[in-house]
Structure 1
Amino acid sequence: MTPVHRTINKTASLNEAVEIMNETKWNIIPVTDSDGKLEGVFTKSRLFQMVLEEKALTEPIGAYIKKDTVTISHTASYEYLKEIVEKSEVGTGIVVDSDERVIGLLRKTDMVKALLRSSNMLKEQLETILESSQLGVVMTDGEKRIIYVNDKFSSMSKQTKEDLAGQSFPVLFPKVNTNIENSSYVPKVSVGEDQTMLRLSRYKTVTGSKGMIALFQTTTEVEQMAEELQTVKNLKQTLDTAIDSAYDGMLMINTKNKVTMASPPLLDLFNLNREQLLHKSINKVLPQLNLGTVFKSGEAELSDFMEINGIKYIINKIPIKQDGEIIGVLGKVMFRQLNEVSALLKKIEKVENKAAYYQKQLQQSETSRFTWDQIISNDPYVEKLKKSADKAAKGRSTVLIRGESGTGKELFAHAIHSSSVRRDGKFVIVNCAAIPEHLLESEFFGYEDGAFTGARQKGKIGKFDLADGGTLFLDEIGDMSYGLQSKLLRVLQEREFYRVGGTERVHVDVRIIAATNRPLEEMVETGEFREDLYYRLNVISLQIPPLRERKNDILLLTEVLMESLNRMLGSSITGIEEEAQHVLINYDWPGNVRELRNVLERAMTFAENGKIQVEDITEYIVDKVKQAGNGDPSIKMAASAERTAVEKAIFAADGNKTKAARLLGISRSGLYEKLKKYQLQ
């Protein structure tokens, strides 16, 4: 298409038309209305007519416009244009857009140029294909004279293209019958030193005569292909034989989930024949195998035990990949002697579980299991205590953790080790109250061979040896015998000790964390605990408050404990009724968090309504709360619940009084009254 950048209207003068034709060299000018839509054309022949009629240059062209014009849509196809050009006697067509506005001219010269460009492109593409082909190519004209050869044929014949051009094909190949109508095949033709196979075909030349196209392929290439094909056939036969004689069933599907192969044992297992299975959808004939899932996962899968006619079987699904893409799935159905295999697997599983259990026990006994994130609290004092303990963990000093039984002293010890530079070392725990006094020394320091009656032949290393480079946690340090206290003091001071029955000094690098629920100061005064050891242990002291002093943590801990207990008990308790919450909050918890966990475990075991109610809680706790209520326990529970609600709102609002009042649904002044009432300022 020639784009149109200038048009004229009916009132334009002859002079304007002459100027446009002279400038554009067009033989036709589109005449359009004010919207650019076509009204007709002004042709060069009409211009000549006006000149012959001696019209003035200022004369309008309106009376000489040709209105029977040929218009073509800008979306017209090549075939349509070809038909228009062949039938039309008009040399130029007007191209319009979808709104019938003139956008260009289609001239026969434009189409000829486009055809020439297209022909040249096709010619270049064809020559590229022929030159890169492994076939020798020869083309002749209607007189059977060679007009084209490719490089391959030139190389085969040992002649240049220039020498071959114009030669007679029958003279060059006298034994080849060239008098054919369409095509023929010659199995053996000599070209230079090569033996080739020839495919001879006819084609229509430009002049209408029939030329020839000859394709030569060397027999060595064909023989190689035949050998490769035979190799593939042999491999297929070998594979088929292996599959047919396989001990277990085998099945293969393609990307369309169609069965492409099935072994006899598989057909026997499912009582099918090949016709019922081959080329059928696996989802219809054997949907239980579920082989198609491998296309999504891309990984091999092993099914659980399945059963048919009392025979148990399992399926190993294996993806078949080519160039990184899955092109099929192989299903191996194993069902022979699976009872013996199953029994063996159970034995192996038991052994593995036992080994895993002992490994876990060993790891738990020698590594810390808790971090600061697992010590749950909203209490400001506990949060401050965690920060102080975390700072203490970075040093080497001995840490003494104090608090009532069940407050979480061991959790703090684990967390201190986990955040210290010794975190990669061992964390060894010794409960001083649980080991008999006469064995404490050998447990701490170990013993040599024959140190005492009943001792192991090769001796035994102690807890200090095990904790070398790590941390030794001495729980219930207040229950240690007075005699052992002096030996412990020496280790803490000198970092060395003697094994029981030994004479060689053992040097260790151990950090001590001690814990007790006993009043060590009073024990020092009464002579039950060495004063020098007390000061040696009490370098950094951490006092964990009892649960009764941090009531805000009761419900928070309850939520966390219920989650773990649900998993352990297999229960599905979703919460605690409000009255039961009041009981928990107003109980003093002498056993602290440990007691809270035991009470919750008992309540969750007996709960029947999805939530813990008052009747699910141990009676002695409910009775103690009622006795402490001084009359009506429900009044004190209500007050406690109100205090808890205020505390939660303040915490949720991050100290913002206005926001907290809005959460509680009361005024700001009302909130200040409650803060004053419960001394929460």
Structure 2
Amino acid sequence: MKNDKKINNDSKQELVMDQQVITVLEKIFDPIPVPIIMLDKDTKILLINKAFLAYLKVEKEDAIGKDVIEVDKASRFPYVLQNKKEEIAWKHTFQGGQTAIVHRIPVLNNDGNVLYAFGMILFQDMEEVRSMVEKNKILESELHHYKKQLIKIQGANYKWENIVGESKNLNQVKYIGRKASQTESTVLLMGESGTGKELFAHSIHNDSKRSPYPFVKLNCAAIPTDLLESELFGYDEGAFTGAKKGGKVGKFELANKGTIFLDEIGDMPLNMQAKLLRVLQDKEIERVGGNKQINVDVRVIAATNKNLEELVKKGEFREDLYYRINVMVIEVPALRDRLDDIEALSKNLLEKISQRLGKYVIKISHEAMSILKRYNWPGNVRELENTLERAINLTDGDTITVDHLPYNITKKAPKTIEEPIRELNDIVADAEKDAILRCLEYTKGNKLKTSKLLNISRSSLYDKIEKYGIEV
């Protein structure tokens, strides 16, 4: 009897403590505008705040102590307590017809037994959910926009796939470029003007661990000598007459943790070469008019179309700087040394130029392409791009023909001897295929006229079209 009495007293004490806790929780949860409910292990309602009562349109005395099923026949709390697994962000339709997004969470003790259940409404109607989704889409769109803007500001817009071509020469150079991107060594890009050295600089940066950080460009030939130092290293306030208030940050500081691309480095004055060498050695700069050393962590990619070795011999380029930047040397091939890429390059450039001009020219005639492949291209890819833009502006249809190419290309393109000796059958086949293509172009694809002009039967013409894989 004494033991039974003790058990009853303990139970009463726990009940009093539970009631005290619930009273405290009511004071906490009632002012909160989010609907909240708390059940015991038998799904009886222990606590329901004002927001939930208002949502269900019931009085407190009609809810407290009642089984949750009496208040909401569609409730899944019995399943949650039985399975001891929470349901997070579930869509639920209450018996009043309201649809909401809810949480149902069982509270377990150390032995894994259910003590309570806690629930809340995350969104009180589906319109809230739709509004949240729309807002999230807008935020994602804005984030995407600002990321694109940041990339533009930082400057590195191109990747390896933007360097078009699969010739042996180009692939070899891209292989070296990819290897260089995985190092921290200084890169020297050499090659004629218009070969695409800047594309390589962009791609190396974007393929490196520095890609999240700035890519800053400076053309050493485009900046006057007396301004080059302040452009590279910045200046402090009052450094010279006309200096901006507060000073100015230089390119090296802007490129911190990223990459600086020094184009036309062969045109850099000798006095600036000495200062650049010091920066490369000490990894610190000093602003013009300043006296404080500023640490910078910058990877340097330099480019030139000049022979730096010859400039060193003439005393126009510092030998110590030359050997400092002459670590990973990449010689970008001239277009005449990768004529196999002309067709792929032309197709890529046509798409880009057409989109920019709003005039969609998508084809180049066989004869025009043959001429493009035979030309020497002293201006390299830049000259090819200008030639195609001129041709697009002259076309009335969707195809560039010989008539749309400039005189200097059509009349001066040398005949290319592909191989010193070829089998006669191959030469005849190429000539036959070329004749059929030119005739089909002349007749605008009319096979009957083509067969008559070539003085062969229609069936013979069809056989040869199939043999040579000619698209009509």
TM-score, length basis structure 1: 0.41
Partner in structure 2 of residue 467 of structure 1: 255
2:238 matched residue in structure 1: 450
Structure 1 pair 503–569 and aligned structure 2 pair: CA distance change class (3 A): same
Amino acid at match of 1:465: E
More helix by share: 2
Residue 404 of structure 1 corresponds to 192
Q: Which runs of 5+ in 1 are unaligned?
A: 1-227, 229-320, 330-355, 631-637, 647-661, 667-681
Equivalent residue number for residue 563 of structure 1: 351
Contact 2:164 2:345 (C-alpha < 8 Å) held by counterparts: yes
Q: 1:357 to 1:486 in 2, by over 3 A?
A: farther
Aligned partners of 1:363 and 1:591: how far apart in 2?
A: 29
Structure 1 residues 357 and 519 mapped into 2: Cα distance closer, same or farther (>3 Å)? farther
| Partner amino acid, structure 2, of 1:426 | P
Matched with 1:15 is none
Contact 1:365 1:429 in 2 (8 A): no
Pairing partner for 1:372 from 143, 160, 174: 160
Give 1:205-604 correspondences, 5 Å limit: 363-604=151-392
Decide whether aligned partners of structure 1 residues 359 and 391 sit closer, same or farther in structure 2, where only a CA change above 3 A counts.
Answer: closer
The 3-state SS of whatever aligns with 2:411 is helix
* 1:407 aligned partner, one-letter code: T
Whole-angstrom distance in 1 between the partners of 2:173 and 2:333: 10
RMSD: 3.3
The one-letter code sitting in structure 1 at the alignment partner of 2:244 is R
Q: In structure 2, how many angstroms separate the alpha carbons of the residues matched to 1:601 and 1:470?
A: 35
SS in structure 1 opposite 2:397? coil
Counterparts in 2 of 1:472 and 1:548: CA distance versus 1, 3 Å: same
What is the one-letter code of the residue matched to 2:224? P
Letter in 2 for 1:555: E
Alpha carbons 2:347, 2:362 under 8 Å: kept: no
Task: State yes or no: 1:624 paired with 2:389.
Answer: no
Deviation per CA, 1:180-227: give whole Å up to 9, x if none: xxxxxxxxxxxxxxxxxxxxxxxxxxxxxxxxxxxxxxxxxxxxxxxx
Tell me, in whole angstroms, the C-alpha distance in 1 between the residues paired with 2:179 and 2:362. 38
Shift of residue 425, structure 1, vs aligned partner: 1.0
Any idea what the Cα deviations from partners look like across 1:5-49, whole Å, max 9, x if unmatched? xxxxxxxxxxxxxxxxxxxxxxxxxxxxxxxxxxxxxxxxxxxxx
What stretches of structure 2 of length at least 5 have no aligned partner? 1-56, 58-97, 102-125, 128-143, 417-425, 435-463
Deviation at 1:507, TM superposition (A): 1.0
Aligned pair in 2 of structure 1 residues 361, 442: CA closer, same or farther (>3 Å)?
Answer: farther
Residues 597 and 642 of structure 1: CA distance in aligned 2, closer, same or farther (over 3 Å): farther
Query: How far does residue 497 in structure 1 lie from its aligned partner after superposition?
Result: 2.0
Distance between the aligned counterparts of 1:663 and 1:616, measured in 2? 27
Alignment of 1:143-162 (within 5 A): none
Letter in 1 for 2:201: A
Residue matched to 1:158: none
| Cα shift readout 1:147-198 (whole Å, capped 9, x = no counterpart) | xxxxxxxxxxxxxxxxxxxxxxxxxxxxxxxxxxxxxxxxxxxxxxxxxxxx
| TM-superposed deviation, 1:363 | 3.9
* Contact 1:445-1:461 at 8 Å conserved across structures: yes
Instruction: Tell me the CA shift for residue 493 of structure 1.
Output: 0.7
CA 1:469–1:663 in structure 2 vs 1: closer, same or farther (change >3 Å)? farther
Q: CA separation of 1:472/1:664 partners in 2, compared to 1, >3 Å: closer, same or farther?
A: farther
Letter in structure 2 aligned against 1:611: T
Q: CA 1:480–1:362 in 2, change beyond 3 Å: closer, same or farther?
A: farther
Give the partner amino acid of 1:391. Answer: K
Query: How far has the Cα of 1:359 moved from its partner?
Result: 9.4
Deviation at 1:437, TM superposition (A): 1.0
Flag the structure with larger Rg: 1
Aligned length: 296
Deviation at 1:578, TM superposition (A): 1.1
Query: In structure 2, do the counterparts of structure 1 residues 362 and 642 end up closer, same or farther at CA, with 3 Å as the change threshold?
Result: farther
Q: What's the % identity of the aligned pairs?
A: 48
Contact 2:215–2:258 (Cα < 8 Å) also in 1: yes
Which contiguous aligned blocks of 4+ residues in structure 1 show a shift greater than 6 angstroms?
356-362
Relative to structure 1, the CA distance from residue 358 to residue 518 in structure 2 (aligned partners, 3 Å threshold; closer, same or farther) is farther
Matching residue's letter, 1:499: R
1:364 deviation in Å?
2.1
Does the CA contact (< 8 Å) of 1:603 and 1:616 recur in 2? yes
663 and 542 in structure 1: CA distance in 2 versus 1, 3 angstrom threshold:
farther
Q: Per-residue deviation at 1:572?
A: 2.2
What SS is found at the alignment partner of 1:624? coil
2:290 is matched by which residue type in structure 1? Answer: G
Tell me if structure 2 keeps the 8 A contact 1:448–1:499: yes
2-structure distance, mates of 1:455, 1:359: 32
Per-residue CA deviations over 1:35-66 (Å, capped at 9, x if unaligned) read: xxxxxxxxxxxxxxxxxxxxxxxxxxxxxxxx
User: How much does 1:469 deviate?
Assistant: 0.5
2:399 is the alignment partner of 1:608: no
Q: 1:475 to 1:361 in 2, by over 3 A?
A: farther
Q: 1:564 deviation in Å?
A: 1.4
Q: For the residues of structure 2 that align with 1:361 and 1:606, how far apart are their CA atoms?
A: 35
In 2, the alpha carbon distance for the partners of 1:572 and 1:402 equals 35
Return the letter of the residue paired with 1:519.
N
State the TM-score, normalizing by the size of structure 2: 0.58
